[in-house]
Every structure is written in structure tokens, then in C-alpha cells.
Structure 1
Amino acid sequence: QALIETIDVWQQKDHPFFVLTVSFNRIAEINSAFGHGSGDQWLQGTAALLQQTKSDGTFLGHLGGDEYALLVPTSDKQDVTACAEALLDLSETPISIEPYALFARISVGVSRYPEDSTDAVELLKHSYTALRRSRRENHSTIHHYASNLDIDYYRRYRLEQDLHYAIERDQLFLEYQPKVDSWTGKIVGLEALIR
């Protein structure tokens, strides 16, 4: 709530800013492996790291789990890139969870006001859409919001929904497709395909 209110206040001042959503990507795993007490230590450690890293004037909010949002008051893409790269560098800093020292795989999503939206909720949503794209990588990374990410997410959602219905209605069937050596014309293998 404080995050949305702060975005609204910053918009009324009509100064450009960036929204960065940041995920440390370990809370579910830590809760499962070590228990919720360790998960709480992880959250305290991640919040402390962000507090130390953020520059003056940057607003820090908690989204849930080990996900956070930062509002960075700048119109300069280089400034926000430097900020995002500093966040990625946190993946090299161990976070102490007694008796362990664990490392994060950090994902960052970025949206900007006013180019990506003038609505607070939508601006945060766009940043989170970019964060989801970052999470697909196997390493710490940054993605900036682009409208095609919404289309990509919608397509994935529709495909998942359509597959669910196809399974319920028993509409899928198995086909084997031969793999042929183009020089000899001989079948050298098969591919199993669900259609």
C-alpha cells in the first residue's frame, strides 16, 4: 500500500522515475529445506542488503516473500542500469542463515514512468512482468519492460489453458515421426510427438 501511495505522490510531482522489482529467488527453497525460522533470517538478510545498497532518495518497499520494489528517481537509463547492476552484484554476497552462508540468484525487472505507464498499479505490474522474464534465466539478470512481454505472457497463459482443456477432453494423441538420413534415405530414428 505504501508503495502504491509513494508512486502516486511521485507521479503528482511529475518527475520521471524507474520501478525496479527485485527477487532473491530462494525463500520457498529455504523454508522447505531449513524451516520458516531460517526463511525469516533470509528475509532479514535480504532486506538489510537492499537497505545498504540503495542510494539516497530511492524508496524501498516489500512485495512479499523475498521480493522487493525500489523506486529510483531518475530519467537517466545509465543511472538505473548502474543501480540494477549493483543489485545483481548482491548475488556474490553471502547471506548468513545460521549455520550456513547462502547466495541468491537475483532477478530484476524494470519499468519507467511515464513511458511505460502513468498508472501506479500498471507501472508496478509492468516491472513485475519484466521480473518474470528475468527469472527464466539460470543466472542473475535484468530485464526492462516492453509491451511484447505482455503478449508473450498472454500466449503462454492461453497455451497452458488450452492444454488443460485438451487433456480433460482427451484430445491429444501420440504420433511418431521418422528421422531420415538425407544422404542414404534410411530411417535413423524416431521422434515422439504429441498433437
Structure 2
Amino acid sequence: MNKVAGLLLTLILLSSSAGCLADEIQEELEVEEAEDNRFTFALPTLGRDVDGVSMLDLTTELEQQPVLLFWVSSQCQGCHEWTEGIRDNNLNYSVMQPITIHRYGNFESEDKIMQVYGNNSSDHYSPWPVVTGAHSRLALDFDTREPSELSVVEAFGNLPTPSVILLDKNGNIVWEATSYWYSADQLEEAGEIAAELGD
């Protein structure tokens, strides 16, 4: 009797976890697809003068210089520190172009991002392009520019905030910050790598 009860309990537990396992497998497949491919995007900006364009094309930016892609949310304290550090560091935009990308558009409004990062009276004002829509727009295959099946957020590996990555002209991630809080040393390291890529 105990063996039958144990067998039934095992079957119930296995069947109840099947959906969870399927979800985990799907997430692993998405991460693997993102790791195996290079992606680009075309995303709307906040529409300010410093954004330069209403729709930013990552590939076009990478043709000019490496891009420091900075994933943010409005309430992220580390994001605020990194923004201020990058801004106050007198970054050489001819060596690498910072671009701020809104990570959690499904939870936060574009207005909130404008208020925190787009408003020049904000402590966290970003005087470089800020793009939105990464959660809802599809990433493009870097080589073919065909839409992928992944959102921009998924294509770049569902990065947390803050995440600061450096992309070379081919869309490869060549550097990633390891500190939640702003680090002048890490930003300098990214700048040195970007300068070498430009040589």
C-alpha cells in the first residue's frame, strides 16, 4: 500500500512540475539562441535634440565607433550612479558612443524614463541617445537584418540593470562591467578597449 501511495505521489509531483520544466527549457533555448547569434536593433528614442534621430539604428552607430550600451530602469540606484559617472567623466564620444536602453518597458512608462534620464534638470540626465521599446520590438539578425523571434531584451540575454556592455563594429560584446555601482576604473578599461578597436 505504501509503495502504491509513493508511486502516485511521485506521478502527481512529476505531472505538476512538467509546465515549470517546459518553461525552463524554453528560457534555456532562448538564451542559447541569443548566445549563438549577433543582433542589432532599430528602436525609438526619446526624441530630444541629443538623441539625434527619432529611430536609432544600432548598426549605423556601430559603423561610426564602438557603442557603450547601458541597460537601465528608472528606480535603479546603480543605473543612476553609472549615468552620472559616464556623464561627468568627459567621455570621448569619438572613441565610444554611449546609448542608454530602457530595460523594463513592460513595467515602467516611457514618461518615467524621460523624467529620470531625458530631462536636463534631472540629476541623472543622459546627454546621449536614450532608446525605448526594447521589451516589445523584435531584435534584428545582425547580418541579414531579418527580424528574429526574440525581443531586443531577450536577444541580449535578458540583462539585469544596470548592465553596461561594449559592442564592436560587428555587434560582438567585447566588454561588460562587473560592478553594480559606477566604477571609474571599469569605464576607463572600456574606453581603452574601444580605442584599440578604433585603431
TM-score of the superposed pair, with normalisation by structure 1:
0.23
Higher helix share: 1
Which fold has the larger relative contact order, with Cα–Cα distance below 8 Å and residues 6 or more apart in sequence? 2
Higher strand share: 1
TM-score of the superposed pair, with normalisation by structure 2:
0.23
* Bigger Rg, which one: 1
